[in-house]
Structure 1
Amino acid sequence: MTTVRPVAEADLPAVTRIYAHYVTETVATFDETPPSRDEWRAKAAAITGTGSPFLVAEEDGAVLGYAYATRYRPKPAYRHTLEDSVYLAPEATGRGLGRLLLGELIPAARLAGARQLVAVVAGSGEEAASLRLHAAFGFTEAGRLRGVGFKHGRWIDTTLLQLDLGS
């Protein structure tokens, strides 16, 4: 059975490993160097310290994915808009864990005071699963930024998605 729960210190090695895969092997993130466990520790503390959600999906004691919501932009007027991130261990994709995580993250973001939830989906063809996942929860396309990132020798677009969480 898979459990979704808040991130804990003991989860950070798995979070670090999962994200490192996406940094080195994909264009799902524009990071080019995987953050260290200490950097993840600081990031998790910063996210949860603002009251924003950081969740993990755990099965049989193993973290198979995580999702969090952070401020969309740092300026004060954006304080009611959060941006979601969902990452799954490569061996755990296609099992509905993304849906499980995002399904828990959305109400947690609402409880954290978010009025809008934004997703910035990067890709050059392999992002279809992320787009479908967000669409299943009612996210709509708000725009596309073409060629805004350069990684692994190619220019990458981002698709902006938005979900109105109500006032």
Structure 2
Amino acid sequence: MIIRKVRDTDMDALVRIYNHYIESTTITFEEDLISSEIMLERVHNIQQSGFPWLVVEMDGQVQGYAYAGSWKPRSAYRYTVEPSIYLAPDIVAKGAGKALYCKLLDTLKTQGIKNVLGVIALPNQASVALHESLGFKKVGEFARVGYKFERWVSVGYWQLEW
């Protein structure tokens, strides 16, 4: 397993992973599939903001990614980020996600970030367990704020503070 910075050549793999979650889960509230061009624009926006975007490679193939972006645009929030992590379905719960997320958190900490706010569409026990295993604490929940696949979805917030 290799964890490294994202490359422009990774976009097809990232899109394959993310589009799976768009098509078949409520983990993301995005409803329309995205292209490699859209993903590349998103990656570049995160990179231009100075935040990390990492991928995990297994057997030479990108199998997941994690990144963080500004939680809110106002400058007073500059020490707070919202992370995202997506894994290829066949490697979920095999340790790659935790290793990738730990590397992301370590990078954020060295950048001077003080708060990381995990936003989780509920229910998602795997994501809750991952966040809590890394020291995140649940700080809130918004009931029925998203609507996808003909059902309402609640969102929970988990905070990690250094």
Normalized against structure 2, the TM-score is what? 0.97
Q: Who is 2:130 aligned against?
A: 133
Provide structure 2 residue ranges, at least 5 long, that are not aligned to the other structure: none
Q: In the alignment, is residue 151 of structure 1 matched against residue 154 of structure 2?
A: no
Provide structure 1 residue ranges, at least 5 long, that are not aligned to the other structure: none
Q: In structure 1, give the amino acid aligned to 2:157.
A: L
Whole-angstrom distance in 2 between the partners of 1:112 and 1:49: 14
Q: Who is 1:40 aligned against?
A: 39
Whole-angstrom distance in 1 between the partners of 2:63 and 2:96: 8
Q: In structure 2, give the amino acid aligned to 1:130.
A: S
Q: Who is 1:56 aligned against?
A: 55
Give % identity: 37
Aligned residues: CA RMSD: 0.9
Question: Aligned with 1:87: secondary structure?
Answer: strand
Q: Who is 2:158 aligned against?
A: 161
Whole-angstrom distance in 1 between the partners of 2:48 and 2:77: 17
Total equivalences in the alignment: 162
Whole-angstrom distance in 2 between the partners of 1:53 and 1:140: 23
Moved over 2 A (4+): none
Q: Who is 2:105 aligned against?
A: 106
User: Residue by residue, what CA displacement relative to the aligned partner does 1:41-99 show, whole Å, maximum 9, x if unpaired?
Assistant: 11111111121010000011101110000001122221110001010001111211110
Question: Aligned with 2:32: secondary structure?
Answer: coil
Q: In structure 2, give the amino acid aligned to 1:44.
A: V
